[in-house]
Structure 1
Amino acid sequence: MSSLLSGGLLLGSASNASSSAANGASSTDPIQVELSGLGQLLSVLNTFQSSLQQIYAPAIQYGGGTATSSNPAVASVSTSTGAQNANYQLTVSQLAQSQSAITSFTLPDTSSTSVGTGSLTITTGSYAYTSPTSATGFTPNDTPVTVSITNGTLSGIASAVNGANTGVVANVIQNASGAYQLQFSSANTGTGNDFRITVSDNDGNNTDQNGLSRLAFDQTLAVGSGQNLTQTQSALNASYTVNGASASSSSNLGIQLGSNVSANLLTTGSSTISVNVDFGQLNSNAQALSNAFNTVQNGINGLLGNGATLQTDPIATQLPLLLNQEVQNTFSNGSSLLTSLSQIGLNYQSPSQYGLGGSLTLDVNSLQTAYNSDSTGTANLVYTAAQALNTLSNSFASYGNGSIVQEMNSLQDQDISNQLSAQSPLPNNTFPYNLQNLLSYPSSNSALTAQQISGLATYALIYSIGAPYALESLLVGQGLGLSTSGSFSATA
């Protein structure tokens, strides 16, 4: 069968096929034209939706805020993506601080006179205090770190401690009289971040007031006998209130005031922290909304104008009218009095021809005025309008249930149906030209080959289903083995 098809025995001539193809290509199919126009409209809407989704994306909606502190000396403030517009009343009553202790002795220099040699074992943890400088026990937080002291000067000791990552920082300080002392402080602030220093002194006594043991600091021991440094500051948590609610923190940094709003506490006192939409970002969003609306309406107008592809399409002609109506609607905007785009400088302009899409223009001065009076309401209105326009567009463009998509599916089904109905069957009791051509192909009184007989029988069977007819005497005597006295018929 395949060889007969390829040989043209069961098909019309190549020239007829080419002619039919050429005629079909040259004709204009109105369904295909409309499908093309709807495809362009769908593309325009998809671009519009992408632009709208960028306008109200959370990273943009809440990522452009700025925060200010009415008293920067009390606290600095920062925001991150997701910060909401808000005001926070912050009152700091106590800063977090680390435990600090200083040598009871002084030296005239930092790098010549030696305190002593040996080793210091430093442990961070928490004391069980019975008074600010006396405790009954010590609970370690970390593994003790032993620091070898070979250079016993103040600078040498500080360098050795700071290089050992002990959780304690050593600093050489100069007092009011010009003499030098060594101060130790916990690296971390907050209660529970205390420290203990035990000494292995090369002079053989680890707790007295001579040699390296002068740096011993254990608040479970007596002052001067193992508690030889003088505490200058105890470890405390920061205490503060946010909008009247009390809170505390072991650190002064990264204090959470609200969602994605944090402050660094600098001193005691009060400050009002304000988080507001950044006008530059708001202006960009409003302009992007105007540009996206105008672009989609221009694209729609090009498909709906006089003589255009979709001028009479019932679905497409609804879209610009609904978009025009949407940008003139009022929107729910919480407690804000700003409910229409015209209130924030986004003004609607009617089209020159009824039935087409209008446009938006942005008045930046009006946007600035609205921002100055209600920055949150102005920003939320832009985001809400963008979401509403996206929802409307989605009702037309959504895969599966969008009205444009459904219309395209219906047109495609109709086009397929039309193509099938165009292939009308031949009248009953007639042989197609190519079948008769096959029968006359062999020379007179020559039998058909087995391949030709098989192809002819298959073709006749298939053709009889689509166009009923009788196979009578024409097949007789052509090598099919049929009796001349009988007849053979195949009908649908």
Structure 2
Amino acid sequence: MNPLSGYNSSFSSFDSLLPNLSSLLSSGLLLGSSSAASQSSASSSATDPIQIELSTLGQLMSILGTFQSSLQQIYTPSIRFGGGTASSSNPAVASVSTSAGAQNASYLLNVSQLAQAHSATTSFSLSDSGTTVVGSGSLTITTGSYAYTSSTSATSFTANDTPVTISISNGTLSSIASSINGAGAGVVANVVQNSSGAYQLQISQASTGASNNFKITVSDNDGNNTDQNGLSRLAFDQTQAVGSGQNLTQTQAALNASYTVNGASGSNASNFGIQLGSGVSANLLATGSSNISVNVDFGQLNTNAQSLASAFNTAQGAINSLLGNQVRPSNDPIAAMLPRMLNQQAQNSYSNGSSLLTMLSQVGLSYQSPAQYGLGGTLSLNVNSLQAAYNSDSSGAANLLYTVAQSLNALANSYTSQGSGSLVNETRALQAQQRNRQLVIHTPQTPNTFPFNLQNLLSYPSGNSMLSAQQISGLAMYALVYSIGAPYTLNALLVGQGLGLSSSGFSATA
């Protein structure tokens, strides 16, 4: 039997229902409306508010980064009190220099003893230094310190470094001196000419100071290491008897420098880099007295003050421009608080040691409020006021600028530092929000619409398998009516199109 038996041509009038059913399927209930598509398109073309905010935060951090670089130049230790001058009333006794931390001060320096290097000379002398042989064997030189019982006698020797052994073959005074100096043993050897014109070998510790001594032991090829013949004449051990192991003659004892600074006693193994006070040092040149004066340079102080005002005003101006146009306190209170925090720092009182200068206004840096509340103010410098502060307390004025610059940098760092900076953390949160949003936008969705008619189904994505209950109901109604009105057409359209119909055919009866 024909599977379409019972078909009545009178039902072909149901074909007229197809446009209405197509309208039903294409309604808002079953199909995405054109208005929804246009809204989606408008949304995608609209400016992303998150991207605007990210751009603003990036610009803020850039402004603060430049601000911090300027501030760090003001309080860098090398120029914190840079340009200071120091003078010595007796440059023959001591020279003086300043470094970071130098402050206005006066020091009375009395030098009673210069530091000395341990030194000894051969007890014998030769008429020449380059031809007469002293001996052969080896010298072992050790640097360290003696436990003295007198200026030339000790009970023990404590080594500071590893002993150095030097081979000597038919050594003259000059060749021995050359071998010692080339060995890096911590001593210096020189051939000296005495008052009678004869030559002697002098050996000295390379460093000054009471604990910097030396000892020389000899392995003499003549078999006797401590006598007054051959190479053993260079033995020098002050725990041994003079002439029997202590064969060099001590010409200078190892001593520390002794001095007083404003009445306080001091001692140093070296004559150089003697600290008189914060950032002030002296090199001792002779015994005697000298008055040392140190003054902070006003030119550097003025430069630092100008730099602080300029850095502050530049940063606040850029922040005002940025926040005034793009950020409101209601949507970003963190960023909007920044200029007010900077305003507060410029007006704060700071701890400044014993100085009475604790506010920028006291050193000529006056704060001006902004025209609109919530924006950043400015600083202006009165050089005459700065000069007056310098005249009364130059070190206090310099230290105040240092402290304020450091405090402003710390505030900026609380916004920009990686890991804890508020702007950095806000940026990361917005970036995460933006990534999640983009993921939703670009993730393929299962279509929630259905073609306008069955003919369109042929070109519709094969993945359209998740239909709503309304869509399935509409499809069933469409199929029922169409099967009555045009079964052959329906069979041709639906077979194999993912609607669960068998390819063996479709049967419909009235």
| Same fold by TM-score greater than 0.5 | yes
Map of 2:464 onto structure 1: 455
Shift of 1:173: 2.1
1:90-239 equivalences in 2 (<5 Å): 91-112=110-131, 114=132, 116-119=134-137, 121-124=139-142, 125-138=144-157, 141=160, 142-143=162-163, 145-152=165-172, 154-198=173-217, 214-239=233-258
2:68 to 46, 50, 54: 50
Retained in 2: the 8 A contact 1:119–1:201? yes
Q: Is the 8 A contact 1:67 1:77 kept in 2?
A: no
Deviation at 1:191, TM superposition (A): 3.3
Q: How does 1:90-489 map to 2 (within 5 A)?
A: 91-112=110-131, 114=132, 116-119=134-137, 121-124=139-142, 125-138=144-157, 141=160, 142-143=162-163, 145-152=165-172, 154-198=173-217, 214-241=233-260, 246-255=265-274, 263-270=282-289, 282-303=301-322, 308-310=325-327, 315=333, 320=339, 323-324=342-343, 326-349=345-368, 357-364=376-383, 366-390=385-409, 402=422, 434-435=449-450, 437=452, 441=456, 455-456=464-465, 458-460=466-468, 474=477, 477=480
Q: Are residues 183 and 337 of structure 1, via their aligned partners in 2, closer, same or farther at CA, if it must alter by over 3 Å?
A: same
Distance 2:164 2:416 in 1: 67
Alpha-carbon distance in structure 1 between the residues aligned to 2:117 and 2:427: 72
Per the alignment, residue 6 of structure 1 pairs with none
Distance 2:76 2:232 in 1: 60
- For the 8 Å contact 1:331–1:385, the answer to whether it is kept is yes
1:136-155 CA-partner distances (Å, limit 9, x unpaired): 55555543524414242x33
Structure 2 equivalent of residue 489 of structure 1: none
For the Cα contact (< 8 Å) 1:189–1:236, is it kept in 2? yes
Q: Is the 1:69–1:271 Cα contact (8 Å) retained in structure 2?
A: no
**Structure 1 Cα separation of the partners of residues 291 and 71 of structure 2:** 34
Alpha-carbon distance in structure 1 between the residues aligned to 2:246 and 2:410: 72
2:489 aligns with none
Name the CA distance, whole Å, in 1 between partners of 2:423 and 2:452: 51
Contact 1:45 1:397 in 2 (8 A): no
**Structure 2: which 5+ runs fail to align?**
1-29, 441-446, 483-493, 502-510
* C-alpha distance in structure 1 between counterparts of 2:229 and 2:220, whole Å: 9
Q: Distance in 1 between matches of 2:338 and 2:389?
A: 30
List per-residue Cα deviations over 1:66-101 (Å, max 9, x = no partner).
5736354444556666x4648566554333322222
Deviation per CA, 1:103-162: give whole Å up to 9, x if none.
3444444445x263323524334444433223455555543524414242x333322332
User: Matched residues in 1 for 2:403 and 2:474: separation?
Assistant: 74
- SS of the residue aligned with 2:397? helix
For the 8 Å contact 1:98–1:234, the answer to whether it is kept is yes
> 3-state SS of the aligned residue for 1:171?
strand
- Does the CA contact (< 8 Å) of 2:141 and 2:215 recur in 1? yes
Structure 1 residue runs without a partner (length 5+): 1-9, 421-431, 483-492
Aligned to 2:477, the other structure's residue is in SS state coil
Matched residues in 2 for 1:392 and 1:138: separation?
58
Paired with 1:473 and 1:140, the residues of 2 have a C-alpha distance of 106
Larger radius of gyration: 2
Q: Is the 8 A contact 2:193 2:199 kept in 1?
A: yes
Distance 1:382 1:50 in 2: 14
Paired residues, number = 440
1:460 Cα deviation from its structure 2 partner = 0.8
Q: CA deviation at 1:268?
A: 3.5
Question: What SS does the aligned partner of 2:141 have?
Answer: strand
Native 8 Å contact 2:349 2:359 kept in 1: yes
TM-score by length of 1: 0.66
Structure 1 residue 54 displacement after superposition: 1.9
User: C-alpha distance in 2, partners of 1:481/1:25?
Assistant: 37
Task: Report if the CA contact (8 A) 1:297-1:359 is conserved.
Answer: yes
For the Cα contact (< 8 Å) 1:118–1:148, is it kept in 2?
yes
- Distance, in Å, in 2 between the alignment partners of 1:210 and 1:404 is 81
Paired with 1:357 and 1:27, the residues of 2 have a C-alpha distance of 32
Q: Would the alpha carbon gap of residues 174 and 303 (structure 1) be closer, same or farther in structure 2, given more than 3 Å must change?
A: same
The structure whose residues are more often helix, as a share, is 2
User: What is the CA-CA distance between 1:60 and the residue it aligns to?
Assistant: 5.5
Find the aligned partners of 2:54 and 2:155 in 1 and give their Cα distance.
87
- 1:348–1:155 CA distance, 2 compared to 1 (3 A): same
Aligned equivalents of 1:181, 1:93: Cα separation in 2: 31
The answer to whether the 8 A contact 2:103-2:278 is kept is no
Q: TM-score, length-normalised on structure 2?
A: 0.65
Distance 1:93 1:85, change over 3 A: same
The CA distance in 2 between the partners of 1:169 and 1:259, in whole Å, is: 34
1:455 counterpart SS class = coil
2:208 & 2:127 partners in 1: Cα distance? 31
Inter-CA distance 140–460: structure 2 relative to 1 (3 Å threshold): closer
Range with greater deviation from structure 2 (62-71 or 226-235)? 62-71
**Per-residue CA shift, 1:358-379, capped at 9, x if unaligned?**
4333445654553444233222
Percent of counterpart pairs with the same letter?
55
Alignment correspondent of 1:5: none
Shift of 1:339: 2.6
Check whether the contact 2:225–2:232 (CA below 8 A) recurs between aligned residues.
Answer: yes
Q: Is the 8 A contact 1:44 1:300 kept in 2?
A: no
Query: Cα distance 1:116–1:345, how it changes in 2: closer, same or farther (>3 A)?
Result: same
1:240, distance to aligned residue in structure 2 (A):
4.2
Measured after TM superposition, the shift of residue 338 of structure 1 is 1.9
CA 1:320 to 1:251, structure 2 compared with 1: closer, same or farther past 3 Å? closer
Task: Provide the rounded CA distance (Å) in 2 between the counterparts of 1:190 and 1:407.
Answer: 60
8 A contact 2:209–2:269 mirrored in 1: yes
